[in-house]
Structure 1
């Protein structure tokens, strides 16, 4: 409004905040966005984009092994500093594109940490934490994302790193221990193992990837061990001790494992520290996230929040869609709530995972009648000459009453690429008969998705 500096002020220039700011500015509103680090947020700067580059770099070792089975002779070595430099150059380029697009849209960029003074005023802090200036806005959007969480009370935790530091290690360690069982832990275990690092993964739970389908969890645990990763389950740290030769991981079961680097990937938490949410009447959930309604509005009627800081579904494309929905709701008088059902996701483990829809367990709890399950495990054609015993897992979960395919789960090469297209069918509510009526593309792995005919027998129990 006329009595405020801006119509919209966005705190956090990650994927969600940038999309909301650009759309609103392109619609003719006065918009500013604040970022304390680099434009692009977690995904572009210290998350999925650089991580995928690392996955691709590390996977070449596996490709070289496969190539030998096809008659190639390869003498290869890996240069970590050269890779890190190339990665950093590309990340800087991408961050520059984000910043340029904001400028082209007419968004004012504010470099510095923004915190709330009240419902309509943000304070911009300098590096020393002092208030540089104050800016007022009619509406405020919080999109500050999340940060890695570490067990601060663990003795020796100061010697450990998180995923954020893993992107900038000055040299490749010879030995690493990764604590955690989620997708970040599993992905980095594959990265370091692929680059020749002696890799150990420990997780306090009974199996990796909690929340995923049990068949997927059991299958991937077996496959990553084939890649040379030592997996220790049902166990966690009691201390980390620094010695002259490395870091000693003292585990609760009495084991001691010495490594050069210890990385904690034990979860992420909404980044709300020091935002002064209470001064603006913004309430938080019991888990420390910003409380929002289905339209992303907080408990302050002119403040909204999107992305990981709300801890709803912490995926970059979801944050972007939440940003679009916010813009449509608030500035185009077109109320929209993002639909979180049947959102596909990928784990860039090695081999990778792609899933969409319900797990078998979720389907059995939520479908009104019986659930049909179709599963296949097979060796990819690519490994026919190599002697590799790597296996692909594909699984369809079907609501027996409606015959709709309600879940698709894939572990194997190109699973993330396949799941994007499978997600269209699941989102559209297509039936198993419609999948079956689709002609296969041969020879491909994906053809198995439309040729699965035999149901698993009642009484089947998933592994894991």
Structure 2
């Protein structure tokens, strides 16, 4: 393993060295290389405990793609159910092929990884599939896939190692449970699945699997969508329950055992018998009820979605004095994304106390490179960051949750405008009229400044995007009301909100609602 050589613009081997191939790292590297700096990316990520390989681009970029593909697979199944209302007649029985979905998605991820490597090369970024560890100021020990080591120096180092799924530490979790990144490594459909955890990825996976016709049970640990608006979380939960997803509340996972081993697919040669399909194993799960009683249930798959942990251990942060939060293990940074060591920066989900999305990491990485090498002073704005939960009924939000707004400004200063809406395309198949919902949270004393927008419905993320730009410009409720709605689109509901939660609650008290 020989790192690329060549002159840098300073006394070090590289002007910029990025540890980790996450979306923010790719962005800062390409932008810096475009500004004629010598840049190296080190990215060697070990497989998951179940052996799933990780592609270049980091967990956020690759998992975002997987999330969207899986949501679309589920939505297509729902569309087939309702197509007759639009005059379509199916000539044959429709079924889903798990193996074809897995093959297609995995091929797309590999193609995307190759494209990223070509982009790096075209931008002039050096890339090594190697592990980097800080061993001294400005010095990184590089370990290649063959174990060979070499030390390189860099004027500036950026940490973008991302995060990894967490395990619960109960017997059998690493041996028999999957995480979201392992789901598409299964050679067979997951069957009856227990989703442990009510995080965004947990509800997304539960909705996707249920949309494929598989029985799903969700066991929150303990809350649904922690960090999100809790009234919106309840609406998503209600939609899933009405659809048929089971929930186990206030329970905890104690143990997972395998009662029946599965088999992998056997590929035959020309003269061998026909290939045998892979078969699922069987898992027995020990669950502790709210009353402390123990019960056991059998599942085909147990999926852990109990949060993610920053990958900050083993890269030498303590050796050079980079400070991390004792509670989260994430790196402490200032407003410039700079760590406690002047020449070391951190981008993305390794940062402590900040939101993390793929788009935000790319934006932050680009701005960091411009501050370092173009004399820019523009900082990344970590407020009003949009996010989307790709459940079957999509949920997108930007700004404050209702709980956070009440805590920040006081309930008397917060007005919440809200409405259910019925997408026109849902009317012919008579889909549930009271599922889709929006609310706009305003700070009354500050000209009813819009401090939070929440949308639940088809394509919620795309609907929200334009309103994010408006919020960046200081959108008020008066300006929102003055916006002309685009008919017959669903987004127009946001420009015609007249009912507040206070009004709705008063009507309920009087028995008029």
| 2:17 maps to 1:9 | yes
> Could you say which residue in structure 2 is the equivalent of 1:300?
341
The answer to whether the 8 A contact 1:123-1:131 is kept is no
- 2:214 aligned with 1:187, yes or no? no
- The answer for the alignment partner of 1:284 in structure 2 is 324
- State the match for 1:231 in structure 2: 247
| Cα distance, 1:155–1:41 mapped onto 2, change above 3 Å | closer
TM-score (normalised: structure 1): 0.94
Structure-1 residue corresponding to 2:119: 101
Residue 170 of structure 1 aligns with which residue? Answer: 187
Q: Residues 193-244 of structure 1, C-alpha deviation per residue, up to 9 Å, x if partnerless?
A: 1112111111132x41122223211110011123321122222211112212
Q: Report deviation, 1:304.
A: 0.9
- CA separation of 1:267 and 1:347: change in aligned 2, threshold 3 A: same
Moved runs in structure 1, 4+ residues, more than 3 A? 153-157, 458-461
Identify the residue that residue 431 of structure 2 maps to in structure 1.
388
State how far apart, in whole Å, the 1-side matches of 2:285 and 2:494 are: 43
Determine if contact 2:134/2:319 at 8 Å carries over to the other structure.
yes
What's the CA shift string for 1:347-405, capped at 9, x where partnerless? 00110101111122222222265211111123333232334326101111111122112
Report the Cα distance in structure 2 between the residues aligned to 1:6 and 1:156, rounded to whole angstroms: 42
| Cα separation, 2, equivalents of 1:420 and 1:197 | 32
d(CA) in 2 for partners of 1:107 and 1:359? Answer: 40
Contact 1:344 1:356 in 2 (8 A): yes
Question: Of 236, 252, 256, which residue of structure 1 is paired with 2:296?
Answer: 256
Aligned pair 1:436/2:481, yes or no? yes
Q: For residue 358 of structure 2, what is the aligned residue in structure 1?
A: 316
Aligned ranges 1:52-67 → 2 under 5 Å: 52-67=68-83
Q: Which residue of 2 aligns with 1:400?
A: 444
Residues 1:89 and 2:89 are matched in the alignment: no
Distance 1:259 1:192 in 2: 14
User: 1:123/1:63 Cα in 2 relative to 1: closer, same or farther (>3 Å)?
Assistant: same
Q: Secondary structure at the match of 1:58?
A: helix
In the alignment, which residue of structure 1 is the partner of 2:417?
Answer: 374
Gaps of 5+ in 2: 1-8, 46-54, 261-280, 509-513
Residue 77 of structure 1 is aligned with which of 83, 87, 95? Answer: 95
Cα drift, residue 416 of structure 1: 0.9
Closer, same or farther: CA 127–273 of 1 in aligned 2, 3 Å: farther
Q: Which residue number corresponds to residue 283 of structure 2?
A: 247
Deviation readout 1:229-284 (Å, 9 max, x if unpaired)? 11222222111122126112221113433111101010011111211112222121
Q: Do the aligned residues in 2 keep the contact of 1:23 with 1:327 (CA within 8 Å)?
A: yes
CA distance in 2, matches of 1:352, 1:223: 11
Separation in 2 of the partners of 1:378 and 1:101? 43
Q: Which moved more, 1:258-267 or 1:426-435?
A: 426-435
Give distance in 1, aligned partners of 2:285 and 2:240: 21
Larger Rg: 2
- SS of the residue corresponding to residue 284 of structure 1 reads coil
Q: Which of 14, 19, 23 does residue 31 from structure 2 map onto?
A: 23
Question: Would the aligned equivalents of 1:157 and 1:239 in 2 still touch at CA under 8 Å?
Answer: no
Q: Residue 371 of structure 2 aligns with which residue? A: 329
Q: Give the alignment of 1:93-132 within 5 angstroms.
A: 93-127=111-145, 130-132=147-149
Q: d(CA) in 2 for partners of 1:35 and 1:22?
A: 15
Provide the residue aligned with 2:157 in structure 1: 140
Q: CA deviation at 1:288?
A: 0.3
Contact in 1 for aligned 2:60/2:357 (Cα 8 Å) = no
| Runs of 5+ unmatched residues, structure 1 | none
Q: What is the aligned partner in structure 1 of residue 393 from structure 2?
A: 351
**For the Cα contact (< 8 Å) 2:221–2:306, is it kept in 1?**
no
Q: How big is the shift at 1:305?
A: 1.0
Is the 2:170–2:254 Cα contact (8 Å) retained in structure 1? no
- Greater mean deviation of Cα atoms: 107-116 or 387-396: 387-396
- 3-state DSSP of counterpart to 2:142: strand
Following superposition, the deviation at residue 109 of structure 1 comes to: 1.0
1:131-181 per-position Cα deviation (integer Å, ceiling 9, x unaligned): 422211111111111111111244554211111111211111221111111
Query: CA deviation digits over 1:322-344, x for unaligned, max 9?
Result: 21222122222323321111111
Q: How many residues align?
A: 459
* 1:61–1:195 CA contact under 8 A, matched in 2: yes
Match of 1:449 in 2: 494
- The RMSD of aligned alpha carbons is 2.0
How far apart, CA to CA, are the structure 2 residues paired with 1:96 and 1:204? 37
